[in-house]
Structure 1
Amino acid sequence: MEEFYRIRRLPPYVFEQVNRAKAAARNAGADIIDLGMGNPDLSAPPHVLEKLKETLGKPRTDRYSASKGIPGLRRAQAAYYERRFGVKLNPETQIVATLGSKEGFANMAQAITSPGDVVLVPNPSYPIHAFGFLMAGGVIRSVPAEPTPELFRHLERAIIHSIPKPIAMVVCYPSNPTAYVASLDFYRDLVAFAKKHEVFILSDLAYSELYYDGEPPPSVLQVPGAIDITVEFTSMSKTFSMAGWRMGFAVGNDRLIAALTRVKSYLDYGAFTPIQVAAVAALNGPQDCIQEMRDTYHRRRDAMVEAFGRAGWDIPPPAASMFAWAPLPEKFRNIGSMDFATLMVEKSGVVVSPGVAFGEHGEGYVRIAMVENEQRIRQAARNIRRFLEAGVETLHNVVPLANRR
């Protein structure tokens, strides 16, 4: 029987091979150290949990909520943007609460994409950036992920050679998976480019509070006039360790936000009201919890770089995000990231994400999530050291990339 149209547009689930290896290792009793998914292991702040408990179980809050977010939550997000970025937003027309930034991206794609519309997406990139538009009937054109002058040459070429002309470009800084960080100067050039070519900017800023070196990452909306063409997506998942709560935001251009709000009004009634009330407490309450979380990830990053380096695997220290984007160790570069990640699970009990899962230009890398404590990270390094030293002997069943058909 033929697959449904939208399902046909999706590739096979790229993590399936690694997940099978992980399940087999666990079933055999192995102690698995899972650095694959960016799934925070820290607790949400105590005052946020208290507010959730206080709001639960009342008839008023057990009812349907507001699809676009309760007014207090949208006002709290506006206050956050003014405090953090110096950007003034209208909570009524320029902010909508989403069920995490992933849902926001997917529904924005539904709202603005006509069949065959072209969207410029970084490669490698977080999968929803591309597949949200593919599921909506759009066409993806890949551009580099790194925020350099070279990116603009690729964007220019993509716009000249795309029929129809692209409607939007996706950016994500700090990046998932690469941890690249953009400067405000880069965003100024990006906004000028987008206005010249009449394309929208869709910015994923989920990792804005996870930074370790240098200045806090900016918002593209800090550029004067950016709001004419931009929507930016943020999330409470990483900033407040509230990943399972599914609470995010889309902010920016009135017309784009109105389109997203309209689509959402047909699809959901918003997050559970106590979650939205607790999210208000997170945004308006004491912010020292963010610095504590940042310090925790900073220590983990330093422990990982040091311990993995001693194990024989040099990891470039990420300046931001909760991920390291690591080139495959030299001995393993000819087998590809998928087989390397599978071998890692089988031989060392350590799970990482293959770079190819984030686009073909992610080949040769793996993404390592800093979602275990320093002790476990050092244990992972000891396991990896034995795996790397065994090296060549582990490869007897693996076909090098160059020899595959």
Structure 2
Amino acid sequence: MSEREWEFAERVGRVEPSATVAVGNKASKLKEQGVDVVDLSVGEPDFPTPARIRETGRQAIADGHTTYTSSNGIPKLREAVSKCLKGKGVPCGPENVVVTPGAKQALFETMQALVDEGDEVVLLDPAWVSYEAIAKIAGADLTRVDLGQHGFALEPALDDLAAAVSDETTMLVVNSPSNPTGAVFSADAMKGVRDLAVEHDVTVVADEIYDRITYDAEALSLASFDGMAERTVTINGFSKAYSMTGWRLGYLAAPEPLIEQVSKVHSHSVTCAANFVQHAGVEALQSVETEVAEMVAAFEQRREIVVDLLADQGKMIPKPEGAFYAMIPTDEGPTDDMEWCDRAIEDAHVAAVPGSAFNAPGYARISYAASEERLKDGFARLANEDLI
């Protein structure tokens, strides 16, 4: 085939490939070569999807739920989502919900509906890798607030946030519990966000994908605070709490004027989430509390192992209060976190994600959504290579 010179859209050139996916691909390639890799890079529970969810999905296929659905989602799922959000103090009806193929799609549609070229989007660093990419695809200019100097907590950084947010700000993204830090923001921190959002009439995207996975703190919904329901887009999904990563199911909840506009993007891109998967989502919200509690208990135990293993090596980190990630300082080995992660996978055969991917240089993110045995093995390998 003859070669031709391609000209690509400027919006694609604004973004880099996902660093987390790149690390996962590198780990997969080594595994294909027969290398035993301890993969601590992936944000995926190592538990199977609960049996009742799997069975509901199978039955939904058998019952013929393999057609298109209404674009915004089947009524039963939107009703179940709204009931769940009401239980957290968020005023929400089924008409306020759009069901999407994964929470990432919900974020993408929200940005497309609200952000114009040159609009300011404020991120709290360290920030999940795709916030920047999705915002840049929408044409946003980014302003970043560093929480790293405050132990990844938001409350002591509220003055910094106040200096960043203005009447010119279009959107603020808040992720609690946080990927990559595991921080859970306090009620006072959320009130501080509320005060700034109301003062400057800013839309807040509340990414609550890890809200069911907490240990020492309660995950609060921003839309439940006075004055926030009319200016908050709540994004959540089923991948983490219900171990449904491959099912690709998420949702957003927002005021109806925004739902109307998001629905345009939704209908012209993905049409709808998979029919039978939506039925499985209803089952997830209604009947697997025991399985969720068991997973969270396991993650909490693994968190303790990670914190203790690091302490044994003289590395003290803020204890994650939610999600299943920890940020490891790389400054006592290679100062470059990219170099640290390259050495980790090449020499120790342990996969981790460079902190630079989250705008947090000097750290590496590890996921403890892996068995206790693999965690201990991975940290022993890192210690043997003088990486911790």
User: With structure 1 as the length reference, what TM-score do the two structures score?
Assistant: 0.87
Question: Given the superposition, is the C-alpha separation of residues 152 and 255 from structure 1 closer, same or farther in structure 2, using an over 3 Å criterion?
Answer: farther
Name the structure 2 match of 1:40: 45
Closer, same or farther: CA 105–58 of 1 in aligned 2, 3 Å:
same
Aligned to 2:177: 174
Return closer, same or farther for 1:147/1:303 CA change in 2, 3 Å cut-off. Answer: closer
> Which secondary structure does the structure 2 equivalent of 1:106 belong to?
helix
User: Taking structure 1 as reference, are residues 147 and 230 closer, same or farther at Cα in structure 2, changes over 3 Å only?
Assistant: farther
Does residue 1:350 correspond to 2:350, yes or no? yes
Question: Following the alignment from structure 1 to structure 2, what is the Cα–Cα distance between the partners of residues 102 and 260?
Answer: 14
Q: 1:21 Cα shift? A: 5.5
Shift in alpha-carbon separation, 1:158–1:303, aligned structure 2, 3 A: closer
Q: Which of these residues, 65, 75, 79, is aligned with residue 75 of structure 1? A: 79
Residue 225 of structure 2 is matched in structure 1 by: 223
Q: After TM superposition, list the pairs within 5 Å mapping 1:200-279 onto structure 2.
A: 200-214=203-217, 216-279=218-281
Q: d(CA) in 1 for partners of 2:21 and 2:176?
A: 27
What secondary structure, in the 3-state scheme, does the structure 2 residue paired with 1:153 have?
helix
- The 1-side partners of 2:153 and 2:368 are apart by 23
Matched, 1:372 2:375: no
Partner residue, 1:120: 122
Corresponding residue of 1:363? 361
Unpaired segments ≥5 residues, structure 1: 392-405
Check if 1:154 corresponds to 2:160. yes
Query: 2:104 matched to which residue of 1?
Result: 102
Q: Does 1:31 align with 2:29?
A: no
Unpaired stretches in structure 2, ≥5 consecutive residues: none
Distance between the aligned counterparts of 1:14 and 1:50, measured in 2?
A: 34
Could you tell me how far 1:20 is from its partner in structure 2?
7.2
Which of the residues 301, 304, 307 maps onto 1:305? 307
Counterpart contact for 1:344–1:350, Cα < 8 Å: yes
Alpha-carbon distance between aligned partners in 2 of 1:209 and 1:96, rounded to the nearest angstrom = 20
Conservation of the 8 A alpha-carbon contact between 1:105 and 1:128: no
Distance 1:28 1:314 in 2: 35
Q: What displacement does 1:34 show? A: 0.2
| 2:339 paired residue number | 339
Compared CA separation, residues 280 and 235, structure 1 to 2 (3 A): same
Distance 1:27 1:44, change over 3 A: closer
8 A Cα contact 1:240 1:282, kept in partner: yes
| Paired residues of 2:18 and 2:130 also in contact (CA < 8 A) | no
Partners of 1:7 and 1:234 in 2: CA distance: 26
| Secondary structure of residue in 2 paired with 1:343 | helix
- AA matched with 1:34: D
Q: Which digits, 9 at most, give the CA deviation of each residue in 1:46-91, with x for residues without a partner?
A: 11111111111344x12112221100001101111223x1333111
Inter-partner Cα distance in structure 1 for 2:165 and 2:90: 30
Distance 1:312 1:113 in 2: 44
Mean Cα deviation higher: 144-153 or 200-209: 144-153
Q: Deviations over 1:132-185 (max 9, x none)?
A: 12101221111234454553333333345x8xx121111111111122211222
CA deviation after TM superposition for structure 1 residue 105, in Å: 0.6
CA contact (8 A) 1:21 1:342 kept: no
Aligned partner of 1:294 among 293, 296, 303? 296
SS at match of 1:388: coil
CA RMSD of aligned residues (A): 2.2
Measured in 2, the distance between the counterparts of 1:316 and 1:151 equals 16
- The equivalent residue for 1:187 is 190
Residue by residue over 1:320-363, the C-alpha shift from the partner in whole angstroms, topping out at 9 and shown as x without a partner, is 1110112125133x2x111100100111111111000112xx00
The match for 1:53 among 52, 58, 62 is 58
d(CA) in 1 for partners of 2:243, 2:110: 24
User: Does the aligned pair in 2 maintain the 1:236–1:242 contact within 8 Å?
Assistant: yes
225-234 or 136-145, which deviates more: 136-145
Q: Partners of 2:77 and 2:273 in 1: how far apart? A: 11
Match of 1:399 in 2: none
Pick closer, same or farther for the CA change 1:207–1:24 going to 2, 3 Å.
closer
**How far did residue 295 of structure 1 move?**
0.5
Q: Please state how far the C-alpha of 1:27 moved relative to its aligned partner.
A: 5.3
Looking at structure 1, the residues matched to 136 and 206 of structure 2 have their Cα atoms a distance apart, in angstroms, of 18
Alpha-carbon shift at residue 307 of structure 1 (Å): 3.1
Using the alignment, how far apart are the partners of 1:18 and 1:65 within structure 2?
Answer: 36
Three-state SS of the structure 1 residue aligned to 2:386 is helix
Match of 1:64 in 2: 68
Give SS of 2:16's match. coil
Supply the AA of the counterpart residue of 1:338. Answer: M
Distance 1:171 1:120, change over 3 A: same
Instruction: Classify 1:327/1:111 alpha carbon distance in 2 versus 1 (closer, same or farther; 3 Å).
Output: same
Deviations 1:11-57 (A, max 9, x none): 35545875675356435532100000202211111111111111113
Change (3 A) 1:24 1:250: closer
Q: Check conservation: 2:208, 2:236, Cα contact below 8 A.
A: yes
Instruction: State how many pairs are aligned.
Output: 379
The percentage of aligned residue pairs carrying the same residue is: 28
The Cα shift of 1:364 comes to 0.6
Residues 103 and 382 (structure 1 numbering): CA distance in 2 closer, same or farther, change over 3 Å?
A: same
SS at 1:234 equivalent: strand
Among 373, 379, 382, which residue is 1:381 paired with?
379
